[in-house]
Chain A
Amino acid sequence: MSDSEYILVVDDDPDVLGTLMRALKRQGFDVGTASSGDEALRILPGRIPDLIILDVIMPGLTGFEVCERIRGEPQYDQVPILFLTARGQTDDIVTGLDAGGDDYVVKPFELAELQARVRALLRRSERDTLRSNAQIQVGSLTLDSDTCQVQAGDSESIQLTSTEHRLLRYLMEHINQALSPGHLLEAVWGYPPSTGDPDLVRAHIRNLRSKLDRLQQNAKFIKTIHGVGYMINADT
C-alpha cells in the first residue's frame, strides 16, 4: 500500500466499474470497488477513502441513501462524494446534493473531465482541513465555518453540507458581486475553466435557499441576477 489517495467507486455495472478503475489507477490512485450500496457500506470502515464515486441508480440502496448513511457517520463527514448519474434527473441531483454529495458526473463522461474533477475535489478536501475557523457575517446572516452552521439574527442554527457551506461562504466573502455558475465552479469546486456543470451550482443554490428560507421566510438571502448569476443580499 502506498500513500496514494484512495478512491472508492460504487456502481452496479461491472463494465463501468472496470472503466473507472482503470482510468483512476492510471492517474496513480488506489481504487476500491463495490457493486452495490450495501457492499460499499460494508467495506467502508476498512479504509477511509479520500473520495467516493457513487452511482445513483443501483439495485438495493440507491446512491443517495448510501450518501445519507455515510454523512451520518462523523468519521466520513469530510469525505467528498461524487455522484454518477444519468442526465435528466435534475430533481434527483438536488436530492443527492442535499444528502451531502459534492458533485455529480453525467454518464457517459469525458475521462479527462472526470479526472479533473476528481483531482479538484481531492485538493479542496485538503484545503478545507486548513481553513480558518472564523465566523463570517453579512447582514443578519452569520455563518460558522467550524460547525458548517448558519443562523439569521437570533434564529436557530441550521446545518449545511460542506459544499453548501463553502458556496455560501464564498458568496458572503464577495458582497455586491454577481457570481456566474462558471466562476463558482472554478472558485468553490476548484474546477479548471469549462469543467463542471452549471446545473451543479443551480442545484446547490436551490438547496441552500430552501434551508435559508427556514431561517427567515422570504428573506431572499441569495439573489439571482438575471442572465449573470448569483449574489449575496447584504440588506437582510
Chain B
Amino acid sequence: MESWSKPNTNRILVIGDDEHLVTLLKNILSGAGHYVQQAYTVSEACEMADQSHYDLALVDLRVSGNDVQAILEELREDTAFGRFPWIALMDHDLNPAVPDGASGVVLLPVRAHEMLNTVAKTLQYVRVQSPSQPLASDTAVEDDVYQLLARNLLEQKTLSDIARTLNSNLDLNTVLTKVVDAATLLTHAEEALLLLPDEDGRTLYIRAEKGIDNQTARQFRIKTRDTLAGQVFETGKPIISGDGGWRKLKTAYFVRSVLYVPLKVKEQVIGVLGVNNRASDRTFNNQDLTLLEDLASHAAIAIENARLYGETVTRTRELTTLFKTSEAVNSTLALDGVLPIITQQLLGALDVRGVEIATWDENLDELQVLASSRQLFWTEDTGPVLYPEQHATFEKVLQESLAIPADLAYAQAQHAHQVWLVPLAVDTKPIGILEVHYLKDHSDTLVEHLSFVKETGLTLIREVDPSKEEDQARARDISQDLLEKLYADFCRLWVRGTDGKVFHQRMNVGLGVWLSDPQPKFALQHLAALEKPLRDCVPLEFVSPTSLSPEAVELLNYYHAQSIQVLPLTISGRSLGLVILENTLEPRSFSEREINLAQALAIQAANALQNARLFHDLQKSLEELRRTQGKLVQSARMSAIGELSAAVAHQINNPLTTVLGDTEILMQDKEAEDPDMISLEAIHRAGQRAHEVVRRLLSVAQNNKEEAFPEPMDINATIENTLSLVTSHIRRKQVNLKIELASELPKAQGLRGQLEDVWLNLLLNARDAVKESENPTIGIRSSLSEDGSHVQVEVWDNGEGIPEEQRSAVFDAFFTTKASGEGTGLGLHICKQVVNQCHGTIQIQADRQEGVSFLVSLPVK
C-alpha cells in the first residue's frame, strides 16, 4: 500500500488506452492532489481493483476492442467494481445519458474544471452514502474537498500567473521579487529567498527575499560549500527537510524546515530558490516540492532572460556613454567643454553621486580639481555640519534674514568667486540657508529672483527626504533649474538641525569647472589614501564600513562619503591625475565590469586633458611665433621706413632750407613791429613744423644711437619746442590741453633733440587715450622736485587708464594697446630709452582717480 501524505488524497483508477487522454487526466487529477493509476483494459482494471483499494474509477467507454455494452456488462459483473463508484468518459456526441451503474459522466474532450467537479461530487456522494468511511463530519469533508480544490486552483493560477508575469518582465529585480512572492504563496512558507552566485561562483548571496526580518540574514553571503543552499547549487538536486528539528542555515540563524530547489537553465544551475519555516511546525511535502520546482523552472528562464536583457541594456548604455564621451573629447579641445561632459557621463554611467577630475602637480605634490559634478545628498548624521556662530556672514544672514554674498574668505575657501547666502525662513524663523556658488564671475542675478530662490529653498527643505531616491531626483531637477536661472554653478542646502544650533548640509548639487584659481587644491600629504592610485596608476576602492585603514577613513570623511572609487588618469603609463567617484548615502562597491567601464571613461578624460594641454602648448608656441613674426615684420618695416625717411628727408629738407633760411634773412632785416613780421614768423613756424615731422620720422627710423651724452638744458624750452609743433594738432581734435610750466627751473640733464621726442610721444599717447572721453583733457606740467634734485615733467590725461596688469609692460618694445596697425608699440619704449640715457626715470603714476599720468624725472646737475 502507498503511504498518504495528505488525508484527503483519493486513489483514482483511469481505464483507457488513449495515452493522450490518460496523461491529460493524470495531470489534472494529480494536480488536484489525487493519486492516479492507469489500466489499459477493463479486465486489467478488475485485477488491479482486486489488489488495492480505489476510491473512484474513470472509464473511457471508447476502450478499443469492446463495444460499450460489453464493457458495461463486464464492469457490472466484477465484484471489485461494486465497491467503488465509477465515472464514464464519453464522446459528447454519444447519448449523454448516464450509463447504467455509473455514478456520473464526463464528456470528451475533457474540460478540467467540469471533470474535477464531477469527481469531487461523486466522491462526496460516496462518502456520505458509506458510513464505513472514517470521517470527522460531513461538513468537514465538504470543506476539505473544497479547500483542496480551491487550493489546487490557486496554485495552478499562481503558477500560470507568475509564468505570464515573468515572461513579460525583463527587469531582474522585479522578476526576483515576484518569484519569492510566489514561492511563499505557493508553499505557505514564512520566508522565501532567492540566492544567486557572485561572479566567481563561490558565494551565494540573497538577491531577493520575502518575510525575512532578520537584518543579518538579509546580508547572507553563503559559501557554496558546506551549506544546504550550497549543496543544492552544487548538485542541482532539491533538498526537503523538516523532521530534523532546528537547522542552522547560517551562524545564529535557525529554521525549522526548509525546502530548497535549484534554478536551472539548460541543465546549468544558476541559483537556488528556497523557502523556510521558522515559527510554524508545518513541514514541507512533495507537493510543495513539485510546486516549487515548477516555479523554479519558470523563474530560472525569466531570470536568465532578465539577466541577458540587463546585460544588453548595460552594454548599450556603456557603449553609448563611451561613444558620447569620445565624441565630446574629439569635438573640442577646450577643457571647459570636455570636462563637464566627462563628469556627467561618469556620474550617469556608474551610478555614483559625485565625480571629481583632478590633475596632479608633481612639483607641488598637490591635486588640483579641474571639474566636479555633484548630486550629493546627506542625512542629518552623515553630512557636513556648520556652526553659524563661527562665520560672521552666516550669523548676519540668519539674524537679519538678509540674502548677501558671503565674505571673500568663505568664498575662497569654497573655491568660488562669489557665494550668495540666502536665508530660508518660515514665519521669520530661519530653518535653513541656501548657498549659491559662482565659480568664475560675480553675479547679481540672484537678487532679481530672490523670492523664487527662497521659495525653491523652502520647497527643497520641506519636500525632500534625502534618503529617498525619488526625492533626490526631484531635488536634483529643482536645483538644476534654479542654477540655470541664476547662471550659477553649485547650490548647497543647509538645514537647521533639531537642536537648533547646528546646520546640516543636506544637498550639494551642480557642475563646475575650474581652470584657474580659485581652483580647489589639496596637498597629497593630507590625503594619503590617494597616493597609491596616483603613483601606481591603479584603481582603488574605499567602501565603508568594511575594515578600513586610517587613511581611507580620512578620505571618506573628507568627502563625507560612504564609498569612494579612485581611478588614475594615465597617459602612456604616466600619471596625470585622478578621477574620484563618491557615494554619500550608501556604500557602493564596483563590479569588475563597472571598474572596466570607469577606467575606459577615465582614459577618455586623460586623453581630453592631454589633448587640451598639447593644444594649449601649441597655441602658446603659435602665439610666440606670431609675436616673433610680428617683430620681424615690424623691424623690416622700420628699416624700410628708415630708408624711405632718409630719401624723403633729403627731398624735403632742401626746400625747407630755403624756406626757413630766406625767412630768417628777411626777419633779420625787419623791425620787430613791422607788420610783415607776423607773416614771416608764420612761414618760419610752418617750415619748422615740417622740419620737425621729418626729424621725427628719422629719429623713429634710426633708433640706434650708439653713445649719447646728456647735457644740462632748459627743459621748459624742450617742452615749448614740442608744444609749438603739436598744440594746434591736439586742440584741433577738440581735446583740452593744459600747460603748466614752472618758471625759473634749473637746467637738467637732457639729450638735445630727443627730449622733444619724449614729450611728443607722451602728449600724442595722451591725446589718443582721451578719444572716447566725455570731456577730453590732457596736460603737461613741469616742476622742481621737493628736494630740488630733479626737474619733473608730468604728462596726464583723463582717459580710460591702463589696467594694472598691463602697467609693467607699457615700456616694452612692441607693446601696444592700440588697434593693430595704429600703434607701433615703440613710443614709450623710446621714451624710456631716452630718459634712461639722461639718467632720469619715467614711471606711471598709480594713484590716480582717472586716466593715466606719466612722470619723467630728470636730474639737475
Binding site for B on A (CB under 8 A): 13, 15-16, 18-20, 22-23, 26, 57, 86-90, 106-112, 180-182, 194, 198, 202, 224, 227-229
Given A86-B649, A89-B646, A90-B702, CB of A19 within 8 Å of CB of B707: no
B839 within 8 A of A: yes
Binding site for A on B (CB under 8 A): 642, 645-646, 649-650, 653-662, 664-665, 668, 687, 691, 694-695, 698, 701-702, 706-711, 713, 752, 837, 839
CB within 8 Å: A-B pair count: 90
Across the interface, name the chain A residue whose C-beta is closest to B653: A107
Complex Cα distance, B653 from A57, in Å, reads 12
Complex Cα distance, B663 from A15, in Å, reads 13
Residues of B within 8 A of A18 (CB): 658, 662
Q: Are B839's CB and A227's CB within 8 A? A: yes
Complex Cα distance, B701 from A73, in Å, reads 38
Q: Are B665's CB and A16's CB within 8 A? A: no
Residues of B within 8 A of A89 (CB): 646
Q: Are B653's CB and A182's CB within 8 A? A: no
A132 smallest CB distance to B (angstroms)? 30
Across the interface, name the chain A residue whose C-beta is closest to B646: A88
Q: Are B661's CB and A108's CB within 8 A? A: yes
A178 smallest CB distance to B (angstroms)? 10
Given A87-B695, A107-B653, A202-B707, CB of A19 within 8 Å of CB of B661: yes
10 contacts across the A-B interface (CB closer than 8 A): A22-B665, A87-B694, A88-B642, A108-B656, A108-B661, A108-B691, A109-B657, A111-B665, A224-B707, A229-B709
Complex Cα distance, B749 from A182, in Å, reads 12
Q: Are A107's CB and B656's CB within 8 A? A: yes
Complex Cα distance, B668 from A26, in Å, reads 10
Complex Cα distance, B347 from A40, in Å, reads 95
Which of B646, B661, B664 sits near A86, CB closer than 8 Å?
B646
Residues of A within 8 A of B708 (CB): 198
Q: Are B645's CB and A88's CB within 8 A? A: yes
Complex Cα distance, B661 from A86, in Å, reads 15
Q: Are A181's CB and B709's CB within 8 A? A: yes
Q: Are B709's CB and A88's CB within 8 A? A: no
Q: Are A88's CB and B660's CB within 8 A? A: no
Residues of A within 8 A of B665 (CB): 19, 22-23, 26, 111
Q: Are A15's CB and B655's CB within 8 A? A: yes
Q: Are A19's CB and B657's CB within 8 A? A: yes
Q: Are B701's CB and A13's CB within 8 A? A: no
Complex Cα distance, B642 from A229, in Å, reads 28
Q: Are A198's CB and B659's CB within 8 A? A: no
Residues of B within 8 A of A202 (CB): 706-707
Which residue among B660, B661, B668, B702 has the maximum number of chain A CB atoms within 10 Å of its CB? B661
Complex Cα distance, B698 from A194, in Å, reads 22
Q: Are B657's CB and A107's CB within 8 A? A: yes
B639 smallest CB distance to A (angstroms)? 12
Given contacts A22-B661, A202-B706, A224-B707, 7 further A-B contacts (CB under 8 A): A86-B646, A107-B653, A108-B660, A109-B657, A181-B711, A198-B708, A228-B709
Residues of B within 8 A of A106 (CB): 653
Residues of B within 8 A of A229 (CB): 709
Q: Are B709's CB and A198's CB within 8 A? A: yes
Complex Cα distance, B655 from A18, in Å, reads 11
Q: Are A22's CB and B687's CB within 8 A? A: no
Complex Cα distance, B653 from A19, in Å, reads 13
Q: Are B654's CB and A180's CB within 8 A? A: no
Complex Cα distance, B657 from A20, in Å, reads 9
Q: Are A227's CB and B710's CB within 8 A? A: yes
A24 smallest CB distance to B (angstroms)? 10
A32 smallest CB distance to B (angstroms)? 18
Q: Are B657's CB and A16's CB within 8 A? A: yes
A230 smallest CB distance to B (angstroms)? 9
A196 smallest CB distance to B (angstroms)? 10
Lowest 8 A-B CB distances belong to which pairs? Answer: A19-B661, A111-B664, A108-B656, A107-B653, A15-B658, A108-B657, A86-B650, A88-B698
Q: Are B654's CB and A16's CB within 8 A? A: yes
Complex Cα distance, B659 from A26, in Å, reads 17
Complex Cα distance, B660 from A23, in Å, reads 11
Q: Are B662's CB and A108's CB within 8 A? A: no
Q: Are A111's CB and B710's CB within 8 A? A: no
Complex Cα distance, B665 from A44, in Å, reads 27
Across the interface, name the chain A residue whose C-beta is closest to B701: A88
Residues of A within 8 A of B701 (CB): 88
A112 smallest CB distance to B (angstroms)? 7
Which residue among B657, B668, B708 has the maximum number of chain A CB atoms within 10 Å of its CB? B657
